[in-house]
Homo-oligomer: A and B are copies of this chain.
C-alpha cells in the first residue's frame, strides 16, 4: 500500500487525532476554570519556579505581551504570583501559590482521565507501541516535553491533508 493509496495518511491522522485530544483536554481545563494556555503556563511555572516572563515567552514561542495577560489572569485568580527580582528589578520571577499547586494536582488528574479516553480501544501492547512511536517522533522533532500547544480553537473546521 503506497502512501497515495491510503484513505488518510499519518500527517492527516495526527492532525485530526491531535485536535481531538486537544479538545478533550480543553473541555477538562475549562471545567477547572482555565484555558489550555493558562493551564500550560501554570504547569511550566510549577516546574520552573522563579522563571521570568521573558524566559516564559521564549519557552512558549510567543511574545512578552501575551505572557503579561496570561500571568495577569493566573495572578488574579490566585494561582501564581509575580515577585520582583532583587538582583534585577526589571525582572518578574514567577511562582505558583498553594492554590496553584492544588490546581496542578487537579490538572494531573484530568490528564490521567484524558489519557484513558484518548487511548480507549487500544490494548496495552498497542498503547505501548503507539506511545513509543510518538515519543520517537517528538524527540526527532526536538519538541519540548514541557510545552505543548493549546489550541484555542474549540470547533475549527478542516484542511485537506
For A115, list chain B residues within 8 Å (CB).
3, 9-11, 161
Q: Which residue of B lies closest to A111 (CB)?
A: B161
Does A85 interact with chain B (Cβ within 8 Å)? no
> How many angstroms between the C-alpha atoms of A1 and B129 in the bound complex?
13
Mark A113-154 against chain B: 1 for CB-CB distance below 8 A, else 0.
011011111100011011101111110110101011111110
Mostly, the A contact residues are helix
Mark A9-37 against chain B: 1 for CB-CB distance below 8 A, else 0.
11111111111111011100100000011
A19 touches B18 (CB 8 A): yes
B60 touches A158 (CB 8 A): yes
Copies in the complex: 2
Q: A15-B21, A136-B122 are in contact. Are A41 and B148 (CB under 8 A)?
A: no
B112 touches A3 (CB 8 A): yes
Q: Which residue of B lies closest to A44 (CB)?
A: B158
Does A39 interact with chain B (Cβ within 8 Å)? yes
B153 touches A149 (CB 8 A): yes
Does A6 interact with chain B (Cβ within 8 Å)? yes
> How many angstroms between the C-alpha atoms of A126 and B29 in the bound complex?
33
Q: Which residue of B lies closest to A139 (CB)?
A: B121
For A126, list chain B residues within 8 Å (CB).
133, 136
For A61, list chain B residues within 8 Å (CB).
155, 157
**A interface with B by C-beta (< 8 Å):** 3-4, 6-22, 24-26, 29, 36-37, 39-44, 60-62, 66, 70, 104, 107, 111-112, 114-115, 117-122, 126-127, 129-131, 133-138, 140-141, 143, 145, 147-153, 155-161
